[in-house]
Amino acid sequence: MKIEIHVNCIECDGYGFVADRHPNDPSCQMVCCSECDGIGSKDYVDDYDSIVDAKEDWPNAVSFTYI
C-alpha cells in the first residue's frame, strides 16, 4: 500500500526560510527556502506493508498517511 511520508526540510529545519548570507552580515535577509518552496516540509510517497515498516526507514519523519 502507498504511504505518504512527511519530513521536515533539512535545508531550513522546517521553518520555510533561510538566510541569504552569513547571519552576522548586517545586510542579511531571510528568504523563502528553495528546497521546500517555503512550506517547511517535504512529502515522499512509497510502498510499505505498514506504517511500522515506514517508520523503520524514516525515523525522523513528522507523520505518515495512507493514500
pLDDT at 9 (0 to 100): 95
pTM of the model: 0.75
The answer to whether 11 and 33 have CB atoms below 8 angstroms apart is yes
Q: Walk along the chain (67 residues) and give the pLDDT tens digit of each residue.
A: 999 999 999 999 999 999 999 989 999 999 999 999 999 999 999 999 999 999 999 999 999 999 9
Distance set, CA 21 to CA 16, 26, 28, 35 (Å): 16, 10, 6, 16
Residues 6+ apart with CB under 8 A from 49: 1
Residues 6+ apart with CB under 8 A from 63: 6
pLDDT at 23 (0 to 100): 86
Q: What is the dihedral of CA 21, 25, 29, 30, to 10 degrees?
A: 60
pLDDT at 30 (0 to 100): 94
